[in-house]
Amino acid sequence: MRHLEEWSPVDLNLTDKTAVVTGAGRGIGLATVRTLINEGIRVVGAARTITPELKDTGAHTVSADLSTADGVSALIEAALTELGGIDLLVNNVGGGEATFGFLNSNDAEWTSVFDLNVLSAVRTTRSALPSLIERRGVIVNISSTTARMPANAPASYSAAKAALTALGKSLAEEFGPRGVRVNTISPGLVRTSVYEGPAAAAGQNLDEFVQQIVKSQNITTDRMTEAEEVATLIAFLLSDVAANITGADYVIDGGGVKTV
């Protein structure tokens, strides 16, 4: 049996690849940009608002509203110009204003949530696919455990994430024979700045607020996932180390999903 110190680090062999990451301004997207750049990848990071943190990564940035067709077109045109081609695509952008209570959500909310969480990925993938096919590229879509446990989120959001997960499987089947791998990652609770506002409104510090949520959701590891942990999984799935993984949905949630 080999000792731990005898094991060599895994070489993801991503140096000199090109990547587009959406929703890159903060959270999982920002962590992904940083991780990929550290792996030697040239990255275009897209966000509606270009944050100082995203600028500091050294990625080429594109400000675009990816819930619209025009925003997606602007992103992919800029990415192809900057990178010369796209090897890797991370469809991370998502979220939006969603309301608990089915009768409280109108058509405009459903349309908005699907535009941001589903159609953004549809349009971005469609635009990037010619280059991805040519380069035998890889796509990772960021869904959510709410696709598996819809009671934990507004109906519009969980339905959109379920659609995104299904989209990944369909794309993997259709474009796998043409050399493109497509996988999905479904995070559970991820510790990001999104909790800072609610924590302040509740009169709690961030650590107390987050731990209260963790307890209420019965997370096995007793903590939220860190954005960097999701980014590491993304990098693995983008790499040749995962060359025979496609059409899969990886849950990273600290044991929050209790079903098989």
Q: Which tokens hold the place of 140?
A: 């990772």
End-to-end CA distance of the chain: 32
Pair 37, 61: CB distance under 8 Å: no
Closest to 137 measured CA to CA, from 128, 148, 127 = 128
Q: How far apart are CA 31 and CA 181, in angstroms?
A: 22
Q: How far apart are CA 34 and CA 70, in angstroms?
A: 27
| Catalytic (active site) residue 250 | no
- Residue 194 burial (CB count, 10 A): 11
Total length of the chain: 260
157, 175, 209, 250: the catalytic one is: 157
What positions carry a catalytic annotation?
157
